[in-house]
Every structure is written in C-alpha cells, then in structure tokens.
Amino acid sequence: MGTSAEYLCEDCGHQFSASEDFSYGFLGEVVTPVVCGEHGLRDAETGINVARGEPITLVDAATTEYPCPSCGVPSPRWDGRSCPKCGVTRLAFVGQILWD
C-alpha cells in the first residue's frame, strides 16, 4: 500500500498531496514525486515493479530526474521539504492518505 501526505505551504498557501519517495501500491509499480515546470508535482513511474521482484537499487535512489507523466519531460525528484509552487521550505503536514 502506498502512502501519500497532504501538505500546506505556510508561505503561499498552496495545498498539495505528495507520495513518499519510491512508493508503490498493490500492483508493485514504484513511483516517485517529481516537479515538472509545466505540470507541477506529479507521481512519475520509475520503471521498477517490486511485485515482480525488481529491487530499488542505489542507482535508482541516486537518479535525480524521472519523466513527467503528463508531458514526458525529465523532471527533478521532489526534495520532500519545499513547496513545489514557490520553493519555500515552510510546509505544514495536513494529513495522510493510503492508496493502492
């Protein structure tokens, strides 16, 4: 089961949800949050499926970009600390969502 958190930027007021880094649901498809310049924060597929026994390697963890699922442009992985809209690091935790 994947986990997603809901955040609120204390600076610009942007509220958003983001999955944990290298999160996966029932089918095992591993996603990681990326910040696309055009589409904002999105869950990008990594090409890894843990249900088929594919491990998340050190190379995967060191990869800094994955394609935006909306446009395919290589986008940086979200750092988990900053607002994807304004870049400020003052995020408030609003809640948690479990997904599959």
Angle at 53 between CA 50 and CA 58, to 5 degrees: 70
Q: What are phi and psi of 62, to 5 degrees?
A: -85, -10
Report the amino acid identity of residue 53. G
What pTM was estimated for this model as a whole? 0.89
Euclidean distance between CA atoms 3 and 80, whole angstroms: 13
Q: What are phi and psi of 56, to 5 degrees?
A: -90, 110
Which of 67, 95, 81 lies closest to 21, judged by CA?
A: 81
Instruction: Please say whether the beta carbons of 51 and 30 come within 8 A.
Output: no
Q: What percent of the chain has pLDDT over 90?
A: 86
The pLDDT tens digits for 27-79 are: 899 999 999 999 999 999 999 999 999 999 999 999 999 999 999 999 999 99
- Residue 14: the pLDDT is 97
